[in-house]
Chains A and B, each alone.
Chain A
Amino acid sequence: MEAIAEQKSIYLQAYEAHSAQVEESEWLRRLHRNGIERFEAQGFPGRTVEAWRKTDLGLVLREHFPPSSGPGSVASNLVEKVGALGQAHRFVFVDGWFDADLSDPGDLPNGLTVVPLSVCEERIPAIMRETLGAYADTATHPFAALNTAFFRDAVMVRVARGVALAQPIVVVHVLTSEADRHAVYPRTLIVAEEASQFSLVEHFVGAEEVFTLNCPVAEIVVQQGANIDYYKVQEEGGGSAHLGVVHAEVARDATAHIHSFACGGKLARTDIYANLIGPGADATLNGLYLTSGRQYCDHHTWVNHKAEHGTTRQLFKGVLQGRSEAVFDGLVKVFEQAQKIDAQQQNRNLLLGKLALAHSNPRLEIHADDVKCSHGSTVGQLDDEALFYLNTRGISLDEAQCMLTLAFANELLKPIRLDALCQYERRLLLQRLPGAEMAGEMS
């Protein structure tokens, strides 16, 4: 107990020291204070907290991560990654701070507003001020609370009513070696106004050896009839910890496609909340995770059907190598008034390493009586018969394994509607597989 009490006070002390130094608007100060109070009220989760039972936070709890105090310098290999997704409205944050030089907003069309908080704190539109922090659950999620207490910069995106963007928005979050043993708190707010349509990618990259606690929170508000594709690509260096939250609020007849791709960090967890609050809301939650060595990767999802005629599709697939470990834990909750909804949830894991371990925990909680819900999970290895079949056609074992693994992952690569991103994730997968030279043109 003592240790926990001490951990709390370290973060509180850091907060107090920090907030004494910075000048900020009252609304922001209130938001930050609320965050630290919420964190203090709950502390870090112990292993008895159901949602954190499988996640070994030892790595994060053993030491204190003060917030990064400013942007570090970005090494050339990371600069390359910044541009990896091609043509886009690109906004780059380094160790949590907006970097105008690396960013390339391009021509912002009418109806698209992207505001880095640090650039124009005073001029933030009221709608965004009110929305920021309105959804992420700081009361029960300790890392959402920490983020809310400590974020200093943020990217705030608004797409106006009826506007369809031709180009995707790409937000790159870079961790440099100066963020070693520090915490970074990226914060994102996305407001898709009525009947708007666009794609947004959050891309998390980082220096290989640094040990950073990366705690991003994204709040996504999808208003009536809007259509958003949100992609999260998590590939920090192998030493980091990533504890992220994505919260989507989906209104009447709106569509949210959320795709999480995770392959970086030593400990990585993404918690996705999707609230379907209006009739006919539609949400897709897709996840593809690749782990190797001793990586730990975790996806938790909470899908709340709060209105009738909603549809949700969840498909999470893992490719596990080495002695890595992965968790999928998903709850679909159907509220009493949410009749005629259709919710599906699938988790499939492919174990390529004999010592790899996959946990799967799909859950349903149904309070309505006229709904369609299904869930399932599998953990398996590559099919020996299929491998032999490919061998008898002259294809080597490595190539055959690569081909079948790619086929397994393809189900999640195919729905990616940004070609550059699809190719990029595919390359990240192939880099991990022996026998990948031949897989160049597989479709």
Chain B
Amino acid sequence: MALLEIRNLHARIQGVEILKGIDLAIERGETHAIMGPNGSGKSTLAKVLAGDPSYEVTGGEVYFQDRNLLELAPEDRAREGVFLGFQYPVEIPGVSNTYFLKAALNAIRKYRGEKELDAMEFLQLIKERAKSVKLDEALLRRPVNDGFSGGEKKRNEIFQLAMLEPYLAILDETDSGLDIDALRTVAEGVNSLRSEERGFLVITHYQRLLSYIIPDKVHVLLHGRIVKSGGKELAEELEGSGYALFDEAAA
């Protein structure tokens, strides 16, 4: 059984159908990339998988480690091991990063029947993981994403990923708005978290990110459907030709 298996997934928002039949399977240890132009449904796919209540699933199935993912509330998907790195991480004034992560981590551990971490254990873990993704420790005490720069927000997402240790990490345009140095740091963070246990679904508009996070498979998403799948060379091909070629093929 695949880590994630999506079959003929349809979804809409405010009556407009965005996903028109997605099929995708990711095995443990694999990194898949989804590429596509703006409005193709990339972010919708990410949010539907995470359980965003603003989207309505109108057809199809999603299985995650044998669980019917679509039946689970967003928090239970997270507790089962699905993580969504947001394209636009949300600012939460008044809630410190540390506190937020402790609540999140302990909710997940509790769900899995593991012991909740005490203050000391948590502090040690958070420092170690912050270091591993090169997150400035001062940001730990600040309110979640509040007043963070674009790069800091994205790094904070990767930091949360490192803390929560999901089985599937969906990264929604983690590269958008980053300069090349920030991009490299984020990619290094991601690469250090790749393992045989964990799958990645990396959503991006540009090929650039995939020079740093080398995918096992690349899918091209257009008008709510995957129109082509291939190896990492597909990303390079896209860089040369753009999406227009596929647009014609799809039409």
Contacts and interface: CB of A to CB of B under 8 A. Distances in A.
A388 B103 contact: no
A205 B84 CA distance: 47
* Chain B facing A: main interface SS: helix
Given A394-B104, A396-B107, A438-B103, A389 B89 contact: yes
A389 B53 CA distance: 11
Contacts of B104: 390, 393-395
Given A389-B89, A442-B99, A394 B94 contact: no
A180 interface: no
A230 to B, nearest CB: 25
* Chain A facing B: main interface SS: helix
Nearest to B95: A407
Contacts of A384: 53-54
Contacts of A403: 95, 100, 103
A392 interface: yes
Nearest to A441: B99
Contact of A410 (B52, B54, B94): B94
A115 interface: no
Contacts, number: 88
Interface string B71-115: 001110111000110100111111110011111111110010000
A348 to B, nearest CB: 12
Interface string B27-57: 0000000000000000000000011111000
Interface in A378-434: 383-386, 388-397, 399, 403-404, 406-408, 410-411
B218 interface: no
Given A388-B52, A388-B74, A389-B86, A395 B103 contact: yes
Contacts of B174: none
Given A389-B90, A406-B94, A410-B94, A395 B107 contact: yes
Nearest to B119: A441
B95 A393 contact: no
Nearest to B107: A394
Given A386-B92, A389-B89, A408-B94, A394 B111 contact: yes
B94 A388 contact: no
Nearest to A408: B94
A25 interface: no
B168 to A, nearest CB: 12
Interface centre among A384, A385, A394, A443, by most B CB within 10 Å?
A394
24 contacts: A384-B53, A386-B90, A386-B92, A388-B53, A388-B74, A389-B86, A390-B100, A391-B74, A392-B77, A392-B78, A392-B86, A393-B78, A393-B160, A394-B78, A394-B105, A394-B107, A394-B164, A395-B104, A396-B107, A399-B107, A407-B92, A407-B94, A438-B107, A441-B119
Interface of B: 50-54, 73-75, 77-79, 83-84, 86, 89-96, 99-108, 111, 119, 143, 160, 164
Ranked nearest first, the 6 interchain pairs of A and B with the lowest CB-CB distance are A407-B94, A391-B74, A393-B104, A394-B78, A389-B90, A394-B107
